[in-house]
Amino acid sequence: MLTEQELNRACIVLVRARNPSNIGAAARAMHDFGFSALRVVNQFSPPFEGARSAVDAADVLKKAQVYATVAEAVADCTLVLGTTAVGERNLQHDLLPLSEAAPRVRSELRRDASARVALLFGSEKTGLSNEELSHCNGLLTIPMQQHEGVRHPSMNLGQAVAVCLYELVRDELVMDPVTNPAAPAPAEILDRLSTRLAEVLEKTEYTRRHPGSCDPAEVRRLVRRMGLNAEDAQIWMGMLRQVMWKLDG
């Protein structure tokens, strides 16, 4: 698990974001995955107020910091990674797929309390410029499907932030799978159920019409394949008992 302190030292830097709803979406993804340090680089006053309505993300937006330049926004960061679409630039940096960049980010965050990582996201239209990329130690990209005739694939800004942050905490936010609490039915109940089913098949003359599928072993396998839990097995027993009662009536 990344600690709260480590998560707080991962800065999401939005460079020239134009759409307030994208700033809000980025803030919401940060909230969802436990990040708090939002930095916005905009030469003019950023389209910020419009984003403040983002549900759940009020805390992140309130603490957001505004910078005039990328250099200022990343000045205190010890690892600066730019996000880019493959093929978008003449790359002069190493480029890692997100899943390989994430462990580097985590190990830098864990190095010590002086470590601070910046993840840069460019504007919706143009991404990060070469000048902006020159402040980066490296680049990462979210692998996407190649579509014929499309040279510059790119993701929606809010979705790209969500996917990147998901990957950063993917193996961290451990969660135990919740399995159905009902215990599997014991074999004895399944045997009784098979017997009961065989009786119904006999009674309804299904057996006479489909002798092939009424071999006792076949019926037993059919019941086993239901994968019943103990509770559901009892329910099926009751249903079949009721059917027999009606057939006998």
Rounded alpha-carbon distances, angstroms, from residue 174 to 7, 47, 78, 170, 171: 15, 36, 27, 8, 6
**Is the CB of 31 or the CB of 116 nearer to its own copies?**
31
Minimum distance from residue 202 beta carbon to its own copies (Å):
32
Minimum distance from residue 226 beta carbon to its own copies (Å):
14
**Is the CB of 93 or the CB of 192 nearer to its own copies?**
93
What CA–CA distance (Å, rounded) separates 235 from 54? Answer: 47
Minimum distance from residue 235 beta carbon to its own copies (Å):
13
What CA–CA distance (Å, rounded) separates 243 from 197? Answer: 10
Residue 4 tokens read as: 């709260």
CB atoms within 10 A of CB 145: 6
**Is the CB of 25 or the CB of 40 nearer to its own copies?**
25
**Is the CB of 66 or the CB of 91 nearer to its own copies?**
91
Minimum distance from residue 159 beta carbon to its own copies (Å):
4
Given a contact cutoff of 8 angstroms between Cβ atoms, the answer to whether 140 and 97 are in contact is yes
Helix (H) or strand (E) holding 140: strand 138-141
Contacting positions for its own copies (CB under 8 A): 25, 28-29, 31-34, 56, 86, 91-97, 99-100, 141-145, 147, 150, 153, 155-156, 158-159, 162-163, 166-167, 169-171, 173-175, 177-180
**Is the CB of 127 or the CB of 158 nearer to its own copies?**
158
Minimum distance from residue 44 beta carbon to its own copies (Å):
25
The DSSP secondary structure of 203-239, one letter per residue, reads: HTTHHHH-GGGG-HHHHHHHHHTT--BHHHHHHHHHH
